[in-house]
Amino acid sequence: MTQAANRVVITGLGVVSSMGLGVDEFRAGLRAGRDTARPITAFSTVGFDHANGCEITGFEPAAWITELVPAELGRASQFAVAAARMAIDDAALSVPRLRDARSLVTIGTTDGESRDLDGLVEVEVGQGPAAMDPVAARRVPAGRLAAAIAREFALTDTEAVTIPTACSAGNYAIGYGYDAVRSGEVDFALVGGADALCRKTFTGFYRLGTIAPQRCQPFDVDRKGILTGEGAGVLLLESEQSAKARGARIYAEVLGYGLSCDADHPVAPNQAGVARCMRLALENAGVKPDEVDFISAHGTGTKANDVTEAGAIRQVFGDTPPRTVSIKSMIGHSMGAASALASIGCALAITDGFIPPTINHNQTDPEINLDCVPNHAVEAELNVVQNNGLAFGGNNAVTVYGRYREAS
């Protein structure tokens, strides 16, 4: 490679979340510490003792999906396309300009269009296979999450790939985009994650005993588990040079990322693996642990995750770790979208100078003993922020963001 590596900056953000649609509502919700938990309506919850979640209501796909037929896309693909359009608009990038450039579209997910599989199976069991809707069946393949974005904007000089590394997939997608822009392989990268609430995932977590009865309380001594959520987060990445040439607003810089695979237990988190991933990310970003101003934790609110993640943070950061928050306390666990939405939260925190709170917090678990910025956001000038994404199967991905400063 002859050219020097590009600096990679974030110039557009697209948010579909239970906190609202678009960057402004998301920022306002994070600042206010808004709890979006409510009874699930996406599917029948008869037979469950409790069924709260962080669901998106009032999403009108036609407002964002103008070229494709929304009914031919599953809910997660609809979220992904909507968030991509928001990110492109937010970056003040024209679609023809994007179309003429070399691009990457990469979307992480846990469930793909399992919401449609729920429905198809219900029909199959109740009425037999002949009654299954062929349109719904065609919506199912997970590869369509990224492909739908490429189709909506008619991007042909692009690589459109869906990454299925579950609850850390958003960070995987961002890391992939970072590499592609940094190396100069592409001019623009639309990266993030998407998932829709589905019965399969709710039931699975419920059966594992990890769904909280009412609210999500990461790091609290009385935490009772996750709340399932949904949404999409898409970031537009480009080189510093490209952003400056077109006069784009820069939210933050992507400093680097790390990936690790435990090759160990299917669901139990592995503390050494999590610590290894954070170290790899900091090293890749060229950041020392004491330069990190806060950590946006994976912070699901389960007993196992929070204590393991806190232990790993201590392993890397020593006895005085940075403030560590979980936005899942507010928007639940949006699965493949989670680390993308949290990354957007990090970019907004850097731009606006605040640390989002961990809400529903009464008493920090003494075994965890972190400053989780309980219940109220704090103002803070931030230079470096770390975002953790940890997934079942031990697929971990950590991203690191920095305040953008021109080279002196």
65 alpha-carbon distance from chain centroid: 21
Q: Which is nearer to another protein, 49 or 379 (CB)?
A: 49
**What's the closest the beta carbon of residue 209 comes to another protein, in angstroms?**
4
- As measured in angstroms, the least distance from the Cβ of 168 to another protein is 20
Residue with tokens 């507010």: 330
| Minimum distance of another protein from residue 268's CB (angstroms) | 8
Closer residue to another protein, CB minimum distance, 244 or 265: 265
Of 230, 199, 202, nearest in space to 335 by CA? 230
Neighbours of 9 (CB within 10 A): 25
**Alpha-carbon gap, residue 172 to 166, rounded angstroms:** 10
Contact (CB, 8 A) for 111 and 197 = no
Query: Measured from the CB atom, is 202 or 294 closer to another protein?
Result: 202
The smaller minimum CB distance to another protein, of residues 207 and 405, is found at 207
Query: Which range of residues in 8-16, 102-110, 202-210, 227-235 is near another protein by CB under 8 A?
Result: 202-210
Of 203 and 383, CB closest to another protein = 203
> Which residues belong to the active site?
167, 298, 333
For position 154 contacting another protein by CB under 8 A, the verdict is no
When binding is defined by CB under 8 A, the residue of 207, 247, 381, 405 that contacts another protein is: 207
Q: Cα–Cα distance between 203 and 208 in angstroms, integer?
A: 9
Binding span for another protein by CB under 8 A among 16-24, 35-43, 123-131, 205-213: 205-213
Helix, strand or coil for residue 225? coil
Say if CB 155 and CB 190 are below 8 A apart: no
- Report 219-278 residues binding another protein (CB under 8 A): 265-268
Q: How many CA atoms lie within 13 A of 213 on its CB side?
A: 3
With vertex at residue 199, the alpha carbon angle to CA 53 and CA 82, rounded to the nearest 5 degrees, is: 70
Cα–Cα distances in angstroms (integers) from residue 14 to residues 85, 114, 223, in the given order: 7, 23, 30
Q: How many residues bind another protein (CB under 8 A)?
A: 7
Figure out which of the listed residues 39, 209, 213, 353 binds another protein, where binding follows CB under 8 A. 209
Q: How far is the CB of 47 from another protein (least distance, A)?
A: 10
Instruction: Return the DSSP state at 219.
Output: T
Which parts of this chain interact with another protein (CB under 8 A)? Answer: 207-209, 265-268
